[in-house]
Amino acid sequence: RALRWASGRAPARGLRASPRARTAMPSWVIDRYGSNEVLRFTRDMMFPIIHFPNEVIIKVHAASLNPIDLSMRSGYGATALNMKRDPLKLKTSETEFPLTLGRDVSGVVMECGLGVSYFKPGDEVWAAIPPWKQGTLSEFVVASGNEVSFKPKCLSHTEAAALPYVGLTAWSALNQVGGLNQSNCSGKRVLILGASGGVGTFAVQLMKAWDAHVTAVCSHDASTLVKKLGADDVIDYKSGKLEEQLKTLPLFDFILDNVGGYTEKWALDLLKKWSGATYVTLVTPFLINMDKLGVADGMLQTGVTVGSKTLKHLLKGVHYRWAFFMPSGPSLDEIAELVDSGKIQPVIDEVFSFSEVPKAFLKLEGGHARGKTVINVISRQ
């Protein structure tokens, strides 16, 4: 960003008003939690407002869906997310509705807060909006400038919308939690469980960009895709007992688990002992605990669980970690460089129009997606 500024990009000159006053916009919202019938299209969603100096308003050209959108539609994480939305309980109304889902956005900056110096109206950007904020299945969305990055030049908005949330989730697990980077991955053996979904396809490409040896686990019908993305070995979890298949291979330096459940009971035995090998899972009980037990007891239970598991596996010579999505414009800057250099490409399963959002949710709900489900908010992306 500093380089962009130094190269002549003028900083934003403070708050800008839209050419014409807007009070409402088209959006897909929910007014209660449930299944697909709770989705409602409205033209009267309140237009986003800049509340803080570092915020920008983005005109959404394309968005995409993630499994978290299905979960949030059903109420998953509501306790923790509502606490994050209003930690001091200052709002007179205690409801989060109407709530807009959607985390990914690729679009154009429309307005900038007074403290934004690295974007200006007209810039093409992408971002992943945190789940405690109003989402991207709208004509406009507000985001912190720290969550936003310049869109990769080589991608259309439709293509770009497929990457931010899964990219940042994988980046969090592999880089920020797992400690992997371009300088220490060469020759390392990495196992990716659930390699054909959004996070998995990104993780395969990132690890290959950093010169790791990648073993990917997916179903047979996704093996061609995963091999094309660069995986060195592809294991079909349906062709036999997965645990036994993986035990025939050399031990791993790192495991990324997108599946969870029973895999956690045996996957850590596949790591090299006493070598710094690490297992990172994206499937954690953090939000579920808070939904079931409340904020205080849920956080306590979560702390006890992760602490006991970490100690248990440390005594066996391996590291056990949890990872979560983390919004980050600077990380998206690095991802954009990898995309523009041709090392990472979006993997899109299907594209829907803005009027087909419920259909897109049903597609995602059916499972077995090969990449991302994208929504063109503005047609012809």
Report the Cα 120 to chain-centroid distance in Å.
Answer: 25
The hierarchical CATH code for the domain 178-322 is 3.40.50.720
C-alpha gyration radius of the chain: 21
What's the whole-model pTM score? 0.91
Task: Specify the pLDDT at position 367.
Answer: 81
64's torsion region: left (phi>0), alpha (psi -120 to 50) or beta?
A: beta
Task: Specify the pLDDT at position 59.
Answer: 98
Task: Specify the pLDDT at position 240.
Answer: 85
Say whether the peptide bond before residue 346 is cis (omega within 30 degrees of 0): no
Task: Specify the pLDDT at position 10.
Answer: 44
pLDDT tens, 143-195? 999 999 999 999 999 999 999 999 999 999 999 999 999 999 999 999 999 99
Task: Specify the pLDDT at position 293.
Answer: 84
CATH 3.40.50.720 intervals, the chain = 178-322
Q: Which residues pair with 190 in a beta bridge?
A: 214, 254
Q: In which residue ranges of the chain is pLDDT below 50?
A: 2-19
Short-list 53, 45, 148, CA closest to 100: 45
Short-list 66, 61, 64, CA closest to 139: 61
DSSP string, 338-356: HHHTTS----EEEEEEGGG
CATH 3.90.180.10 intervals, the chain = 24-163+346-376
At the top level of CATH, which class does the domain 24-163+346-376 belong to? alpha beta
Task: Specify the pLDDT at position 18.
Answer: 47
